Structure 1
């Protein structure tokens, strides 16, 4: 079984920046959409759930520019972003810069950036009052096995050059019941491995064959259970499976009911307001701009067209932040975007 990591070179094309957008406020019976932007914004939407949506389009002076495929986490009252694609300085390039924001919209680079290779497909996780950067794929297409930690996001310690679980990329990392878990494919066996740690230094293999292998899946904790959602098993074989575990060792597939989101990867899955929300991604038919949500992981409801101009969004990041889902960057139908969207259920 061969796992393919897509560099998406067709996405690495300089895009024209739209410097002026128009502000529209639309009030509907079940949906209030509010746009707040450094520039003006336009956003026609299709409402069917009661949400407040705020769109931010940061100015170039906000420094982070347009970005995608980065890893993000909340730590020490700040939003942190590392790696991924960025278009600062012209063109789109892979970087290893660490950024932070006090409000999710205005960004500053850190003064210390010694965190190894430029990378995509990595994870950034808050655990034991530290930030943990794990694995990824570098500019040469090599998978990485390094682990870095930082208490302040500025100064980083190389904990492992190669982690006990080896090289991982396009995996996911989750914190659950006092442990940090890495859920990643073993490219030799073709199965998913799950490793856990209580301190970031000592790692235990929970299982070597949790379920059939995949990459670019998403893990989320909901109702005291770890769920792994979607991903890509092999080239062009995308999944909409959901797997669950209450201990990281024993896994079972969730018996979902129709309708459910289509097969996809490069999506996001976020636990928010008693539900899990699956947003966008690359689907079997191209790209998605849909939002699906569920409180029990078996029955799903759809909300379509929540993105600006009905853009198809993928390679973005989502965080539960300030009592809302914040969606950062990604690629849409016009290329890389610096747009930041928050979704708040009323």
Structure 2
């Protein structure tokens, strides 16, 4: 048994010895002597360097509505290209982006800002790689309000002194039409491109129909003149050549009415027919054919009132009526969205009772200028006559504010006013000085801006 085991061991050794070195392959793991690559961190981006605002000065007042804002330039530590964005609004920490992607350090505000507002602004610089630096401060400024200069633009225009005329902007010009003084009525038409120098365009285009206490308005790319003691309607496409579109409109021979454009129609509201004050409403879609919208309304019959359109509503204000030879004056305000149904505005502050004032809309506000009143003195039972120089404005017809005007702007009634070149233009009128028993007509031009 031992012999057999020995033979097996010997055979095994013989077989193992017969294998050469080439035949034996043993995989030996290689030893890694190199260090693994370390993960290289991304380059850390640096934000632009600090910078400052320059102009407008912080806290600047009476600033123009289209100011230029400037700031110092900045650099980027990484050499990245810098762009700026400008933030401006009425919050102390402005969030409204006015402009972005700016490559210069100034910006001119093209769209006019609101008047009498405090604005805040700051600038942020960006390197395009998520690096951003805001200006070291936030500045504020206050925009200017409306002001009237100490003197008239002109105290003596080419057309004569008058009241109850109209002043209208049309085709890039100012147009003054008709009016009267204490001895004459006029039907002349004048134009101006600056309010200072006036040119006679038509001496008597309405023939027998002189124009006083009429209305003039732009509608369907034409200038329209409506009534003024007659029932006629005229239009012109150039201000010089006039066509009588209707010689007997349904509203009758009327003066002291108001006219507006609303819902793509012309509207004639109230006024005097003969010796009767009216509170009716008429409209026309073409200026030629007229229909009555209401024979009577919620506001009382009146004349020499005013009507304007603001925020999709008609606003009717003030005026006068005569009953038993005694005048009544108003300072009520009514609104309507259809010309038929009128609602009285619950005014919180309001102008004095008055009539024959000028009225228009500018800067999203209703404006009223001048006018007059005659109130019975309870002691003497005589009529105390007051002519106003006041200029009032309102954003909603409820709350009214009074603009300060200088003493050289005389009180006046029957004045004409409109908006031209973003300025309020005021023309002529009559001042009644009861104490001196004096009546003065003007042909001056004043500007509010």
**TM-score normalized by the length of structure 2:** 0.59
Shift of 1:236: 2.2
User: Which residue number corresponds to residue 342 of structure 1?
Assistant: 447
Distance, in Å, in 2 between the alignment partners of 1:247 and 1:104 is: 35
Distance, in Å, in 2 between the alignment partners of 1:222 and 1:171 is: 19
CA deviations over 1:254-299 (Å, ceiling 9, x no partner): 1112x32111001112211121121111024511112222111111
- Larger relative contact order (Cα-Cα within 8 Å, sequence gap ≥ 6): 1
User: Which residue number corresponds to residue 3 of structure 1?
Assistant: none
Checking the alignment, whether the CA contact within 8 Å between 2:278 and 2:303 is kept in structure 1 is: no
Radius of gyration: which is bigger? 2
Distance, in Å, in 2 between the alignment partners of 1:185 and 1:52 is: 32
User: Which residue number corresponds to residue 247 of structure 2?
Assistant: 161
Distance, in Å, in 1 between the alignment partners of 2:295 and 2:344 is: 16
Checking the alignment, whether the CA contact within 8 Å between 1:214 and 1:233 is kept in structure 2 is: yes
Checking the alignment, whether the CA contact within 8 Å between 2:272 and 2:303 is kept in structure 1 is: no
Q: Which runs of 5+ in 2 are unaligned?
A: 1-59, 64-143, 376-384, 434-438
Shift of 1:31: 7.6
Moved more, 124-133 or 103-112: 103-112
Shift of 1:191: 4.2
Q: Residue 330 of structure 1: SS of its match in structure 2?
A: strand
1:321-332 pair list within 5 angstroms: 321-332=420-431
Shift of 1:53: 2.1
Moved more, 280-289 or 264-273: 280-289
Distance, in Å, in 2 between the alignment partners of 1:310 and 1:77 is: 27
Q: Residue 84 of structure 1: SS of its match in structure 2?
A: strand
Shift of 1:309: 2.3
Checking the alignment, whether the CA contact within 8 Å between 1:112 and 1:155 is kept in structure 2 is: no
Size of the aligned set, in residue pairs, is 287
The answer to whether 1:264 aligns with 2:359 is no
User: Which residue number corresponds to residue 317 of structure 1?
Assistant: 416
Choose the corresponding residue for 1:201, options 271, 281, 288. Answer: 288
1:204-243 pair list within 5 angstroms: 204-210=291-297, 211-234=299-322, 235-243=326-334
Relative to structure 1, is the Cα distance of residues 310 and 339 closer, same or farther in structure 2, using a 3 angstrom cutoff? closer
Shift of 1:136: 0.9
1:182-197 pair list within 5 angstroms: 182-185=268-271, 187=273, 191-197=278-284
**TM-score normalized by the length of structure 1:** 0.76
Checking the alignment, whether the CA contact within 8 Å between 2:154 and 2:446 is kept in structure 1 is: no
Large movers: runs of 4+ above 6 Å? 29-32
